[in-house]
Chain A
Amino acid sequence: MRIDPKTIENVSKELYIRALKILPPDVKRGFDTLAAKETSSTAQNVLGTMIKNISIAEATENLLCQDTGIPIYNVTIGRGVQFGEGDGTALKAALRKGCERATREHPLRSSIVHPLTRKNEHTSCGIGVPVIYIDHADAAEGVTVEMIPKGSGSENNSWLKMALPAEGVDAIKTFVVDCVLDAGGKTCPPTIIGVGIGGTADLCVHLAKIAATRALGTQCADPEGAKLETELSEAVNMLGVGPQGLGGDSTAFAVHVELAATHITMNPVAVNMQCHSARRASATITDAGVTYGF
């Protein structure tokens, strides 16, 4: 199949709106898991309000959260897709157009401004935004588009530390715990704490974002990374920050780790958080049509 820009545009628009309104089932289950274990009555109350909000958003077909975020589109080009000359440019333009249409036609608050003039074009678009990543994979058929409206409350709490090899894994663990303490209630906990380990500085931060936006219940592909996820997930929930930073056990749904090889002189670690409005939506486009999911 060839990529049809009009289909991509419609999918892009639809995904932005869907992501803002329907929370993925894994995140809903995450809430139930936390609520079942929470021992603080304040925190139970806060979690209860969050759970109520999810059903009100669905019943009233309204946005879960007013923050329409920074729009991110992750595109995976799979088997059977002919990717010819000009297709890449057309694909990006179509994603952008869909994002703009969602903003104008729904309408949505455009949260995007020029970084120096702070001018808002009221399109949710600007230089380099939406953020678009294009990758290739043979595992799936057709084109998969994942949309993530990344909330700023959590994004504003992002960190990178170029630790030293001599500081070892201890530096990574300590850094994650300290980031959770610094974030307090500002990230709208319970969060998914994304930890990037290794790579270059920019890759490390990107890995943290991939980790933070991965579905709950999934694991790091590397066994050492997966082990660290389990240890850190338990540890951060012992701090007592709690939902909204008002105290309690439910500080994080989970800690997710993504890693890459790094240089002999380097030991980089990055943290990026996803708030409880852990929104994402995806669509797969094949010859048979478009299927929406999470």
Chain B
Amino acid sequence: MTHHHLTTPITEAQARALRVDDTVTLQRTLYGIRDATQIAMFDRGRNTRFDLAGHAVIHTAPNVKKVAPSPQHPTGYAPVCIGTTTSARMERFTRPLMQHYGVRLVIGKGGLGAASLAAFGELGGAYLAIIGGTAALETTWIEAIEDVDLDDLNPESLWRFRIRDFGPLRVAMDSHGGSLYDAVDLKARDKRAAVLATLGVKSR
């Protein structure tokens, strides 16, 4: 178990150095992305002006406040509360995100599936687990909303956050076929029969 300090964008080698159960703290830039953002990008052919190569995306749609644009709030949005949503809904977008945009890290909660794990292995990436439902804490790791694209999808716009000491995050899926979710799921399913037996359930 190693702790990694990474400043985005990162290289393929840096992504491949991450192993399940390692921890990561991120610096500099993070992109916020969600269902509608990715439906627009990959099903409706919309493009973003952002260069996501080597970057980390987080599954989110923030609470924001409209303010007068200023050097601190160049987009006219101030962060109110920024947290993380369930990743599983966005499973089919991991590969195109990596293939077309060069994304290296996906941050989310609850984990991704087999297709994403394969993409991490082939293209060099990892899934970093954040603790879902701890948005008040997460918001303190975000310095500013630097930029926003596809804002007609608000709140599911494509957000660019400036971050500081974002983490610790746990590497839960890596480029070597490791998935903490699969391991936990397998063990839990192994216990199913014993648990049902304690409940007095007769197998028919």
Q: Chain A: residues with CB nearer than 8 A to chain B? A: 42, 46, 49-50, 52-53, 56-57, 60, 62-68, 106-111, 118, 120, 151-153, 156, 170, 173-174, 177-178, 181, 184-188, 231-232, 234-236, 238-247, 275-277
Contact = CB atoms under 8 A, between A and B. Distances in A.
A236 B198 CA distance: 11
Contacts of B198: 234-235, 238
A64 B135 contact: yes
Given A56-B140, A62-B139, A185-B111, A107 B65 contact: yes
B96 to A, nearest CB: 20
B183 to A, nearest CB: 8
B134 interface: yes
Q: Is the interface of B mostly helix, strand, loop or mixed?
A: mixed
B36 A66 contact: no
A241 to B, nearest CB: 5
Contact of B83 (A49, A56, A65): A65
B196 to A, nearest CB: 6
Interface string B51-67: 00000000011111110
Interface residues of B, number: 53
B99 interface: no
Contacts of A239: 188, 191-192, 195
Contacts of A60: 136, 139-140
Interface stretch (B11-19, B116-124, B125-133): B125-133
Given A185-B111, A186-B110, A242 B184 contact: yes
A170 B34 CA distance: 40
B80 interface: yes
Contacts, number: 176
A66 B61 contact: yes
A78 B124 CA distance: 61
B24 to A, nearest CB: 14
Given A170-B201, A185-B111, A246 B135 contact: no
Contact of B181 (A156, A170, A184, A188): A184
Nearest to A277: B133
Nearest to A108: B63
B20 to A, nearest CB: 11
A247 B202 contact: no
Interface in B93-128: 109-111
B49 interface: no
A245 B155 contact: no
B43 to A, nearest CB: 12
A181 B64 contact: no
